[in-house]
């Protein structure tokens, strides 16, 4: 069951009605409903992997209690390590096992030894494993650092781990934020629900119009990159930048909006990263929940920026490599992470990694300055370049793609693989960028206009565009499900 399906619409309506009309008097009953709904939601993909979620839930539930009940710091730490090893082990087996085996074999073959690949297993990657394992780990971390008391309410904890709006692709919530809301009574708020519905509409637009419309073009260019000139390859990776942003931020918006319908506030995951003025700002705006997770649970425990410059640089490298590796068991993601570390370090060394932390481009004016335009374009170009690694099937493909841009630096008009007018897509992207610029100050209010007529006009245009670019034949799954 995916967010952009009719099945989900009926599922959500049913759960919403039961939640607020039937079970609204009992918090426990509401949490049980959320738990059952989440398991049904996940079970629609593959019910077999529900056991993994349950296992992860049980293990971290008890570890949380163990960490809290011991006063000895060493024992606390040991229990924390049990949680980390268990969750990372789970992730490692299902996500990275074959990668390590294959890499090991490849390494030996480089030295002339041939090893028969008896160790490779046909492991299926459970959807969302990277997200919920990180979320359960955050619970153990928060208890260990004394930021949270463990809950004795197992069902509520299970509902926190499996909360369906963000179960398969985030935002990766910290226990201190989400669990506390699940443990406390929620009351229906009209404004919160309306705000949720607006976010769902905006998320659907980003997914169905931006991501899905650009997908066939990007797929075609990356699949046939060896036949295209530089102009098309640059177009392909640029459109991929918008596709992946529309896809993932669209998912996040729907997740946040859906959670709002149940009276729960999730953290923002995307804050208009395309308007970032340097790479550091980009990482404060792109996949915020993951960046925050790494900062809180890896970067800061390693010393963060409060250690020597060399150690800080080391920490940055670790964070980006781990982040790259988190995305997938492929060298392309590790290169992608390494590239970001390389472009982040100079910004850090110049002390400019936090200068744009609390501001947005053209903070106090309608139009950006020329400097800001230059900064935004440069950052976008850097980030987009890195996406060649992110999107390519293999590291060889990525380098060949880059090599071809340099080798065949010519222009050729690109025609849509299905024969549609390309101008429609260019206009769509331009319109999208302009609209995002207009709403850039508040990622949680995509339709924040004072005039009711204007607001209604925007809704109607958004829905019209969803129809104009509707394609039932396109693969409607989300890119980040593979992570």
Partner 1 sequence: MKKLFIKSFIYSILILCILEGYIRVFHLTKDFPTRYLDENNVEKWVPNQKGIFVLGNRRENFNAYSINNSGFNSYREFTPSADNVEIALVGDSFIEGFHQQYYNSIGKKIEDLLPDVEVYEYGYAGYDLADQLHLINKYKSQFDLIDHVIIGFKFENDLTRGKYEVLKDRLNLESQFNRNIRKIKTIVYLNSIGALDVPRGFVRNFLSLFSKKGNNKVELDKTPDPAIKKQSNGLYLENFESLVNTYGFDKSRFKFLLNSEKTPTSFLKYLKSNNYKYIDYASPLSQATKPTTLIYDMHWNNRGRSIIAKVIVENYKLNLTK
Least distance between partner 1 and beta carbon 156 (Å): 24
* Position 470 contacts partner 1 (CB under 8 A): yes
Residue in 108, 224, 456, 477 binding partner 1, rule: CB under 8 A: 456
Residue in 62, 449, 459, 481 binding partner 1, rule: CB under 8 A: 459
- Residue the block writes with tokens 């960046």: 291
- Residues contacting partner 1: total by CB under 8 A: 27
Q: Which of 296, 327, 340, 416 is catalytic?
A: 327
Residue in 410, 460, 477, 482 binding partner 1, rule: CB under 8 A: 460
Residue in 262, 469, 480, 483 binding partner 1, rule: CB under 8 A: 469
Give me the torsion for CA of 31, 207, 218, 468, rounded to 10°: 150
Binding segment for partner 1 (CB under 8 A), chosen from 40-48, 74-82, 249-257, 454-462, is: 454-462
Name residues contacting partner 1, limited to 195-254 (CB under 8 A). Answer: 197
* Position 351 contacts partner 1 (CB under 8 A): no
* Position 475 contacts partner 1 (CB under 8 A): no
Name residues contacting partner 1, limited to 176-195 (CB under 8 A). Answer: 188, 190, 193-194
Task: Say how many Å lie between the first and final Cα of the chain, rounded.
Answer: 17
Name residues contacting partner 1, limited to 8-27 (CB under 8 A). Answer: 10, 20-21
Q: Which is nearer to partner 1, 320 or 469 (CB)?
A: 469
Are the C-beta atoms of residues 270 and 443 closer than 8 Å to each other?
yes
* Position 468 contacts partner 1 (CB under 8 A): yes
Q: Is 416 a catalytic residue?
A: no
Binding segment for partner 1 (CB under 8 A), chosen from 66-74, 119-127, 299-307, 455-463, is: 455-463
* Position 418 contacts partner 1 (CB under 8 A): yes
Least distance between partner 1 and beta carbon 471 (Å): 8
Binding segment for partner 1 (CB under 8 A), chosen from 154-162, 246-254, 322-330, 459-467, is: 459-467
Least distance between partner 1 and beta carbon 467 (Å): 7
Catalytic residue numbers, as ranges: 327
| Contact residues for partner 1, defined by CB under 8 A | 6-7, 10, 20-21, 188, 190, 193-194, 197, 418-421, 424, 456, 459-460, 463-464, 467-473
């Amino acid at each position: 069951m995916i967010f952009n399906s009719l099945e989900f619409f009926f599922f959500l309506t049913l759960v919403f009605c039961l939640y607020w009309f039937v079970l609204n008097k009992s918090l426990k009953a509401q949490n049980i409903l959320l738990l059952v709904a989440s398991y049904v939601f996940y079970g629609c993909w593959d019910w077999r992997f529900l056991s993994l979620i349950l296992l992860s839930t049980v293990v971290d539930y008890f570890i949380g209690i163990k960490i809290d009940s011991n006063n000895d710091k060493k024992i606390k730490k040991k229990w924390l390590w049990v949680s980390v090893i268990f969750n990372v082990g789970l992730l490692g087996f299902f996500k990275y096992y074959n990668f390590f085996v294959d890499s090991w074999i490849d390494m030996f073959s480089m030295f002339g030894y041939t090893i028969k690949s008896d160790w490779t297993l046909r492991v299926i990657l459970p959807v969302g494993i990277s997200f919920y394992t990180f979320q359960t780990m955050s619970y153990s971390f928060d208890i260990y650092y004394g930021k949270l008391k463990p809950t004795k309410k197992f069902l509520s904890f299970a509902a926190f781990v499996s909360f369906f709006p963000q179960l398969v692709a985030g935002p990766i919530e910290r226990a201190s934020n989400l669990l506390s809301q699940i443990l406390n009574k929620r009351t229906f708020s009209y404004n919160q629900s309306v705000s949720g519905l607006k976010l769902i509409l905006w998320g659907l637009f980003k997914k169905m119009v931006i991501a899905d419309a650009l997908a066939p073009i990007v797929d075609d260019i990356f699949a046939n990159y060896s036949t295209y000139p530089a102009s098309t390859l640059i177009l392909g990776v640029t459109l991929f930048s918008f596709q992946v942003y529309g896809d993932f931020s669209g998912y996040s918006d729907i997740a946040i909006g859906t959670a709002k319908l149940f009276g729960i506030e999730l953290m923002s995951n995307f804050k208009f990263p395309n308007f970032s003025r340097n790479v550091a700002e980009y990482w404060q705006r792109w996949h915020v929940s993951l960046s925050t997770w790494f900062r809180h649970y890896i970067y800061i425990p390693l010393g963060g920026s409060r250690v020597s410059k060399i150690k800080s640089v080391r920490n940055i490298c670790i964070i980006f490599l781990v982040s790259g590796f988190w995305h997938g068991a492929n060298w392309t993601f590790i290169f992608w992470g390494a590239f970001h570390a390389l472009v982040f370090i100079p910004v850090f060394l110049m002390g400019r990694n936090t200068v744009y932390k609390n501001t947005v481009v053209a903070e106090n004016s309608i139009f950006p300055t020329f400097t800001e335009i230059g900064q935004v374009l440069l950052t976008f170009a850097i980030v987009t370049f890195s996406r060649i690694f992110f999107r390519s099937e293999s590291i060889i493909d990525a380098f060949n793609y880059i090599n071809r841009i340099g080798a065949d630096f010519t222009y050729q008009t690109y025609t849509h693989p299905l024969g549609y007018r390309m101008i429609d897509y260019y206009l769509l992207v331009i319109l999208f960028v302009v609209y995002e610029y207009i709403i850039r100050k508040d990622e949680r209010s995509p339709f924040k206009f004072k005039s009711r007529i204007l607001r209604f006009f925007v809704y109607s245009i958004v829905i019209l565009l969803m129809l104009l670019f509707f394609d039932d034949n396109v693969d409607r799954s989300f890119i980040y499900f593979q992570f």
